[in-house]
Amino acid sequence: MSIGADTASTPVAHSAAQAGASYGRVFAWSVRREIWENRSVWIAPAAASGFVLFGFIISLVRHPHGMDKVAKMPLPAQAAIHMIPYGIAVVAILITSGVVALFYCLGTLYNERRDRSILFWKSMPVSDVTTVLAKASIPMAVLPLITLLFICATQLVMLLLSAAASTPFWGAVPLLRIWGLLAYGTVTLVLWNAPLYGWLLVISAWAKRGPFLWTILPPFAVSVVEKLAFDTSYFANFVQYRLHGGFSEAFVTLPHHMKVFQWPEPDPAKFFSTPGLWFGLLTAIALFALAIHLRRRREPM
């Protein structure tokens, strides 16, 4: 009885394993297709990194001994000034990647309906669920990873250039600590922004024209009507919290009056116990499901 049961279950288990492996391959190829068709996912961060390094090299050439004056300042001021170029690299590449994520999400489902390529892709043995999840993985996994790698590579090159130029205090930059904070911040940023990506994909799958306007105008209209009708700003504050509140929830909030440079302190316990995080993730799941439904139902334009 036991041997017969095992023998009978073996083809079923083997078939399930093949199905899982097949789905994994289909999903991986769907993600690769998105990267091939949207090369800005890696070209834009690379370009931002190149501009940052170009400006940094010019600063080293123009002011080869500029850090001598900094050496006479108090240690906190030295740390703050010395970290400015590395902070600029982070901000420049992050903003570039954010813009790429915005326009990718708005265009990925909209463009395939506009150029009618959706008819071809629907003829392929790839489900709407797989397609939408592969598209969602670009702003939530692929682009953040690429961004993090370019930031780390850029900062490493900056450190090596500073060493080659014999810039004072070049060895005082704690890259490993910076990269650890960046990795933590990237994960929390992706989780916090999940409902935003879901909203953008829904607009991309639904709008017949002007997806960017449909993204901006409804929240703006609701905010204006609330302010005029009730003289309150609850909705506007909620939107602002969803856009910028992730950092304050993920890190220890420092007093605004502090003038010295201090490293942000991660607070994962606070972040993962925040109701706004879990409400946002549940909302993101609902929005992704709605985007899948809309892609299945919407016709080419």
Same domain, 28 and 135: no
Confidence class of residue 55 from pLDDT cuts 50, 70 and 90?
Answer: very high
In this prediction, residue 71 has a pLDDT band, given cuts at 50, 70 and 90, of low
CA 293 to chain CA centroid, Å, is 24
211-220 burial: b if 16+ Cβ within 10 Å, else e: beebbeeeee
pLDDT in tens, 75-104: 556 666 778 888 899 999 999 999 999 999
Considering the domain architecture, whether residues 44 and 12 belong to the same structural domain is answered as no
- Mark whether 79 and 152 lie in a shared domain: yes
Q: Average pLDDT, stretch 239-257?
A: 80
Rounded CA separation 267/129 (Å):
34
Q: Name the nearest CA neighbour of 175 among 190, 199, 157.
A: 157
Q: How confident is the model at residue 287 (pLDDT cuts 50, 70, 90)?
A: very high
In this prediction, residue 8 has a pLDDT band, given cuts at 50, 70 and 90, of very low
Cα(37)–Cα(39) distance, integer angstroms:
6
Q: pLDDT class for 264, splitting at 50, 70, 90?
A: confident
Residue 14: pLDDT band (50, 70, 90) is very low
Alpha-helix residue ranges (DSSP H) falling in 63-173: 67-70, 75-114, 118-122, 128-137, 143-164
Quick one: tokens of 170? 């070049």
Domain that holds residue 159: 38-297
Domain identity same for 29 and 62: no
Confidence of residue 24 (pLDDT cuts 50, 70, 90): confident
The DSSP secondary structure of 24-35, one letter per residue, reads HHHHHHHHHHHH
Count how many domains the chain has: 2
- Both 89 and 208 in a single domain? yes
Look over the chain and give the mean of its residue pLDDT values, rounded to a whole number: 84
196/149 same-domain check: yes
Lowest mean pLDDT among 69-78, 80-89, 210-219, 248-257: 69-78
My answer on whether 53 and 21 are in the same domain is: no
Domain identity same for 24 and 132: no
- Rounded to the nearest 10°, the torsion over CA 176, 181, 187, 192 is -170
DSSP 27-58: HHHHHHHHHHH-THHHHHHHHHHHHHHHHHHH
The rounded distance, in Å, linking the Cα atoms of 217 and 280 is 21
Same structural domain, 104 and 3: no
pTM of the model: 0.83
Pair (1, 43) in one structural domain: no
Same domain (yes/no): 14, 151:
no
- Residue 73 sits in the same domain as residue 200: yes
Average pLDDT over residues 118-133: 86
